[in-house]
Structure 1
Amino acid sequence: MASNIQRRPGATRTAPRSRRRARNQDNDGIIPVLASAVRRVEAGVQHGPVSPSIRTQFQVVALLVREERARVKADSTRSDAYRAEQLKRLDGIATILAKVAARDTTLLALLDEDAVVGDAARSLKREMLISAGMEPGDDDVTTSVPPAATTTTKRQVVPQSVVSRQLANPFLAPDFASVGTRESRPRGSGSRRLASWELIGPLLGSFEHAAAGVSACMDLPDASSVGVPNVPELMAHQAQLVAAAESGHRTFLLADEPGLGKTAQALLAAQAADAYPLLAVVPNVVKTNWAREAGRWTPDHPATVIHGDGDTIDGFADIIVINYEVLDRHIGWLGDLGFRGMVVDEAHFIKNKKSQRSQHVLQLSEQIRARTVRPLLMALTGTPLINDVDDFRAIWQFLGWIDEKKPRAELMEALEQTGLTPADPGFCAAARERVIDLGIVRRRKADVAADIPARRVADLPVELDDAVGRSIRAAERELADRLVSRYESALETRASGDVVQGIDHDLVRRVAGWELADAATAKTGENVFSMIRRIGQAKAGLAADYAAQLASSVGKVVFFAKHVDVLDTAEQVFAERGLRYSSIRGDQTATKRQENIDAFVGDPDVSIAVCSLTAAGVGLNLQVASNLVLAELSWTDAEQTQAIDRVHRIGQAEPVTAWRIIAAQTIDAKIAELIDSKAGLAARALDGSDEEVSSASEVQLETLVAQLTDALSATR
């Protein structure tokens, strides 16, 4: 529209030009690009289910806001006023992100520091930087190479001993010896019934909504009727799985509870199936233990462990053990070696199909299936479900049950035989049974290992009555006040005319979501995460003191903590008390770690194992102790349970007690209650439990909801 304001002859245009120049500056740089993108995200979340593209935009905006905030703060060439204005604009974008995340809390996982940034996100980030006139960094460069091809673009190595093995058998051919055992597929009209249906979603949903009391375990043979190796230590439930492999079953999702001996079952199943050479892909922290277990259970089949470039491995070994982190440099020769079996330990590590380790594992399983008919494929995990039943997808694909879009032939054949479609009421139950029959094995300690002594979690409240404790309680009051202020502001400004008597609990959850999103992106300032860390630091000395008392009275003790400074404090306390300890952390070499484990297990004078909750929570056998101290809380029951199960496992002769140190009259106590109330992450899908599946973000959100609700109740 043309302007009706006329300029007087000779009037200067300096002021309008100045205003236009200011507006142009406001439209320069990354912030306008972010503002436009965050509005698209907001609109996308408001109009229905969040699509993958909206999730990608949400993550990229959050990443760029974080990076731009850090850049602005570090820019000493600009005035304080300019930096303050830019930070204010970034805060506005962050506020919208927080509101969006409050609407759909699944977006909160994308704000984590270690959230995987996929190719789509890197590509979008690069486009947004270019649109803002900025130069993308190396991390923002993506290629159009398909995922399976990208896994071989990094530095590749071929150990000399592997070359020797290849030269010794240069005519390695695909193994089609078992081709005759494959069942013929049905033909005719019945095989087309499900061709046009989307089936992956209903299959996953059949586990999420399973009826209470319906467990997930295939029918297993009676081990006594099959020639299972005569191993005295082998328990009945372990022998059953080995018998299934001996009788011809070849794919297993072995999801027994931690402590029931999954490693032994996998090694003996490989021996029963003659699945050599066997590849075992395992976390770095347990690969040495895998070689030891192989020497114990299958001593006639030598095992070798790949470290780094693999210069020291035995290329002629029957069992090759490798950790996820070095798969990239060995992927080439591993795919050509002719494996007849593959085991993936802690298989929930591959749940994110966009991650490199997931792509490597899936690529190898495809290559093994391509050259060996019916290879032995086993996914081992005691924690098969973390945030979503969709975590099964990558595991099922590794096992060859599904591909990217649909069930593979064997599962499709079984589904066709039900005579049902997803529109029929009985489809979910029938489909779940067919998937289980492919090889899901889930047993609980209470059902198959009744001779393992009971365990209990005992809470020990401690009072933080010093200056640090007072500071923590003051910070909690400030958090409560901030939450109340946000709640009241939102109550005053919301457009709806609805009046809620008492506390508006829907609004409470939204406010808690905003606070949680802000906390996840903030680099400085007090928030729920920084408070939990401070509480852990404040409890460190008290927890270590209690562990020292236990060691003096009951013998060996395992001490778990999350943060390095808490571990350091504990070790200092033990050293001052003259107690010998072993330190088990994530930054140790595999050799050093194993030395420390052996010292704790075998040396009677080493009374305490000081363990990182994240690095030592899987793959350790510490049943030489029957008491453990949890100095810091996890955000999920699963992580806590994994730690306890390092002690409460086969071979344990004493009742196990986990002493959980709780800071009384702090947010610590609320978190403990919430963890206990949301226990059982995998129970709903695999044990037929009707408990809700929860995640760390849910517990974090509920913690803030409880904090705000209590504060509002106190003021009314």
Structure 2
Amino acid sequence: MPTMATAAATANRRRKSSSARRDDDAPLIPILARKVREVEAKAQRGKLGPTNRVKFQVIAFLVREERARVKADENVSTAARAELLKRLDGVATILAKTAARDTSLIQLLEVDQATSPVAKRMRRDWLLESGAELPEDELIITDAAPVQSPVVPAAVADRQVTPPQVLARREANPFLAPDLELRAPHPTPRRRLDGWELMGPLYKAFETGAGGAAASMELPPVPEFDRLSPKGLEVMPHQSRFLEAVREGHRSFLLADEPGLGKTAQSVLAASVANAYPLLAVVPNVVKMNWAREVERWTPQRRATVISGDGDQIDAFADVFIVNYEVLDRHLSWLGSLGLRGMVVDEAHFIKNLSSQRSQNVLALAGRIREQVRDPLMLALTGTPLINDVEDFDAIWRFLGWTNGEKPGPALMERLDETGLTPADKAFYPAARDAVISMGIVRRKKKDVAADLPDKLVADLPVQLDDEYGRSIRQAEQELGERMAARYRRIIEARGDRVLIGEADDDIVRLVSSQELEESKAAGTGAENVFTMVRRIGQAKAVLAADYAAQLQRSVGKVVFFAKHIDVMDAAEAHFASAGLRTVSLRGDQSSTARQEAIDAFNNDPDVAIAVCSLTAAGVGVNMQAASNVVLAELSWTAAEQTQAIDRVHRIGQEEPVTAWRIIAAHTIDTKIAELIDSKQGLAARALDGEAVDPTSSDSVQLSALMHLLRQALGAA
């Protein structure tokens, strides 16, 4: 008589046999089911980047292809056919649910075939994994010949200007000297990894912090003599090591030093070491004047010119051309034909959105420079290269020529090939991360390279909003939470489920919160939503924060006061004036000259007590180390913006410990936003610094805050 164990084993074998027969009819379906779950998981975490979009497209195509094959296969029984179609419908349902979560995917469902080389390789690999026999023309997939896009997109062609001085320069030298080292590229040899999809694994290598070490390439030692600093200045050791790498021939860098470590000075001197003139610096508007000063300061033998408006006042014979992102689109034509030998993108995280015109302008110019010059100097500067997701690297890597978005460039591919590994090997990921780092990622932290730089502390100061205005804010928060909760309950009831007190379906919470966020963005300031609520909190805190800053100033000296909205700045300035304190203001509507005069007055005039600064307009490229205390009257929506603001004070030249005082409205959504901002610091720590930080959601702070409010209203917070 068989034992219970024997009976169970027999039943298990029968189940496996049944499953094997079922999969024998369509061995591709289990692969599609596994892949679609991977895409769904990424979408739920808000990490559906370019690689997973291609995967989504290939799954959709193969589902259609497999459905047609199953229907036409006469060797499959009617019952088996019905079962296989049911399983394919399950995969298609998950695709539809994922597309509902991210509506930009819907257009990929309508594509009849996966046409890009990456998609074709992905399809081929999955079919081979399923045991399919493919014709030879589907086994060998070649990359399409690159189509050179014009440096001036059609959308901005009618805006192009040519400053008079540029015409004079052309007349003085009508022929652009050819780069004799720039030869026709040799055919790229076939490499072992050519058949692999590699962008996803590269992002994963950084996302997991594979390898555990800081993301910084090996740099040469500090030279024995400082051969670069002009009289009266001195290059710091960490800057010297970077410049030695340039001297040894390295030409593309993601310079991701923490804010305040002198990235501008390193870039200016790197251009001198590499003789990368003419040099173009694309920078935020607020730092154009500072860039011109740094060129004059560190390379006094070189001339810099700042491009404003139509560029009527520029010096076309200068060595360094400085332009802000906002006006770059007018000057693409003549900059593309100037013969630039180097390009710097300051605050390079500004170009992370590849669909923006700003990003496209920068990438088009970078491509033109690489066409004209062999090994140009290409520098991407940002202390915060990652904002929400590791694929924020994408645009920066494209700018540097390391990848083209679909696959690694030849130099990076060669380094990956030298590892002898493939993405199927666990050891590939730390090796791949090291290969990308060796392309030119330089990341130094203040605590590592500037031992004499004081520490910084972020201290939260909760304030009570006890007046009628404060009570109305808390009431508005409750009403917003209840509005979302009502929508949540309607969805649950329509689905036929019971609403359970104290419990919440995470998918529906996300769906309702996402819908509320989209409606809030569309409504702007015309209706009560999360944005108007946070603004009202800032207004309610304005005088409280200003009063604290005034008290702080009396005990510690100069203070930098940051706010996000103009009306909060206005209220603070009025309070400081009534207290007899002299202030300067840094706002987005100032000219570069007025802004620099305000900065100089704050740093040099002992009678200027407080600088009232816009969090967005003065958060980058501003040196205010005359103060060691910062007051953050309003919170940003990103950790990076907060860090940038604090580092206007915590930088080279600072001689005292730095404290940033965050004014938090207690018992409001302000408290949750501060918590979420702090949690976002983990992404950069994990990807760039190799720290063992628990992964956090890549959802925006706005979405996470709304989800928190909804859960709170449902009693499930």
**TM-score scaled to structure 1, two decimals?**
0.76
> Which residue of structure 2 lines up, in the alignment, with residue 34 of structure 1?
none
**Paired positions, count:** 587
Q: CA deviation at 1:270?
A: 1.0
CA 1:696–1:562: 2 relative to 1, 3 Å:
farther
CA 1:48–1:227: 2 relative to 1, 3 Å:
closer
> Which residue of structure 2 lines up, in the alignment, with residue 632 of structure 1?
634
- Choose 317-326 or 231-240, whichever is displaced more: 231-240
Separation in 1, partners of 2:206, 2:42: 24
- Within 5 Å, give how 1:304-315 maps onto structure 2: 304-315=305-316
> Which residue of structure 1 lines up, in the alignment, with residue 398 of structure 2?
397
Q: CA deviation at 1:552?
A: 2.4
CA contact (8 A) 2:586 2:614 kept: yes
CA contact (8 A) 2:198 2:407 kept: yes
Confirm whether residue 447 of structure 1 aligns to residue 448 of structure 2: yes
CA 1:660–1:105: 2 relative to 1, 3 Å:
farther
CA 1:186–1:294: 2 relative to 1, 3 Å:
same
> Which residue of structure 1 lines up, in the alignment, with residue 192 of structure 2?
193
CA contact (8 A) 1:637 1:679 kept: yes
Q: CA deviation at 1:334?
A: 1.0
Q: CA deviation at 1:147?
A: 6.5
Separation in 1, partners of 2:188, 2:527: 64
CA 1:563–1:693: 2 relative to 1, 3 Å:
farther
- Within 5 Å, give how 1:24-35 maps onto structure 2: none
CA 1:546–1:103: 2 relative to 1, 3 Å:
farther
Q: Could you tell me which amino acid in structure 2 is paired with residue 380 of structure 1?
A: L
- Choose 705-714 or 269-278, whichever is displaced more: 705-714
When the two chains are superposed, the root-mean-square deviation of aligned CA atoms in Å is 3.2
Q: Could you tell me which amino acid in structure 2 is paired with residue 150 of structure 1?
A: P
> Which residue of structure 1 lines up, in the alignment, with residue 157 of structure 2?
153
Separation in 2, partners of 1:546, 1:106: 46
> Which residue of structure 2 lines up, in the alignment, with residue 39 of structure 1?
none
> Which residue of structure 1 lines up, in the alignment, with residue 385 of structure 2?
384
Superposed CA offset, 1:138-164 (max 9, x none): xxxxxx995744166132222222222
- Choose 573-582 or 292-301, whichever is displaced more: 573-582
SS at match of 2:708: helix
> Which residue of structure 2 lines up, in the alignment, with residue 77 of structure 1?
none
- Choose 413-422 or 331-340, whichever is displaced more: 413-422
Q: Could you tell me which amino acid in structure 2 is paired with residue 525 of structure 1?
A: A
Separation in 2, partners of 1:314, 1:46: 54
Confirm whether residue 504 of structure 1 aligns to residue 542 of structure 2: no
Superposed CA offset, 1:177-236 (max 9, x none): 5879x9x9985xxx3322232222322222122237321111100122576424643211
CA 1:414–1:46: 2 relative to 1, 3 Å:
closer
CA 1:485–1:496: 2 relative to 1, 3 Å:
closer
Separation in 1, partners of 2:477, 2:395: 41
> Which residue of structure 2 lines up, in the alignment, with residue 339 of structure 1?
340
Superposed CA offset, 1:397-432 (max 9, x none): 111112243222211222222222223332222222
Superposed CA offset, 1:351-399 (max 9, x none): 1222222222112212212222111111101110112222211111111
**TM-score scaled to structure 2, two decimals?**
0.76
> Which residue of structure 1 lines up, in the alignment, with residue 140 of structure 2?
none
- Choose 431-440 or 477-486, whichever is displaced more: 477-486
CA contact (8 A) 1:210 1:684 kept: yes
> Which residue of structure 2 lines up, in the alignment, with residue 141 of structure 1?
none
Separation in 1, partners of 2:236, 2:449: 9
> Which residue of structure 2 lines up, in the alignment, with residue 3 of structure 1?
none
CA contact (8 A) 1:102 1:512 kept: no
> Which residue of structure 2 lines up, in the alignment, with residue 61 of structure 1?
none
CA 1:148–1:198: 2 relative to 1, 3 Å:
farther
Q: CA deviation at 1:435?
A: 1.2
Aligned partner of 1:165 among 165, 169, 179: 169
> Which residue of structure 2 lines up, in the alignment, with residue 591 of structure 1?
593
Q: Could you tell me which amino acid in structure 1 is paired with residue 686 of structure 2?
A: R
- Within 5 Å, give how 1:671-686 maps onto structure 2: 671-686=673-688
Separation in 1, partners of 2:563, 2:187: 53
CA contact (8 A) 2:349 2:382 kept: yes
> Which residue of structure 1 lines up, in the alignment, with residue 536 of structure 2?
534
> Which residue of structure 2 lines up, in the alignment, with residue 652 of structure 1?
654
CA 1:283–1:667: 2 relative to 1, 3 Å:
same
Aligned partner of 1:568 among 567, 570, 583: 570
- Choose 161-170 or 441-450, whichever is displaced more: 161-170
Q: Could you tell me which amino acid in structure 1 is paired with residue 173 of structure 2?
A: N
Q: CA deviation at 1:611?
A: 0.7
Q: Could you tell me which amino acid in structure 2 is paired with residue 368 of structure 1?
A: I
Q: CA deviation at 1:237?
A: 0.8
CA 1:463–1:322: 2 relative to 1, 3 Å:
same
CA 1:504–1:603: 2 relative to 1, 3 Å:
same
CA contact (8 A) 2:151 2:336 kept: no
Separation in 2, partners of 1:293, 1:478: 52
Q: CA deviation at 1:265?
A: 0.6
Separation in 2, partners of 1:101, 1:469: 40
CA 1:305–1:266: 2 relative to 1, 3 Å:
same
Q: CA deviation at 1:669?
A: 1.6
Superposed CA offset, 1:27-49 (max 9, x none): xxxxxxxxxxxxxxxxxx99996
> Which residue of structure 2 lines up, in the alignment, with residue 242 of structure 1?
243
> Which residue of structure 1 lines up, in the alignment, with residue 477 of structure 2?
476
Aligned partner of 1:670 among 672, 682, 689: 672
Q: CA deviation at 1:451?
A: 1.2
- Within 5 Å, give how 1:9-408 maps onto structure 2: 104=101, 148-150=151-153, 153-177=157-181, 187=189, 191-211=190-210, 213-225=212-224, 228-230=227-229, 232-408=233-409
Calculate percent identity across the aligned residue pairs. Answer: 62
Runs (5+) with no aligned partner, structure 2: 1-38, 54-95, 106-146
SS at match of 1:578: coil
Runs (5+) with no aligned partner, structure 1: 1-44, 56-98, 109-143
> Which residue of structure 2 lines up, in the alignment, with residue 126 of structure 1?
none
Q: CA deviation at 1:263?
A: 0.3
CA 1:176–1:431: 2 relative to 1, 3 Å:
farther
> Which residue of structure 2 lines up, in the alignment, with residue 466 of structure 1?
467
SS at match of 2:625: coil
Separation in 2, partners of 1:103, 1:465: 42
CA 1:199–1:228: 2 relative to 1, 3 Å:
farther
Q: CA deviation at 1:486?
A: 3.5
Separation in 2, partners of 1:46, 1:225: 55
- Choose 451-460 or 159-168, whichever is displaced more: 159-168
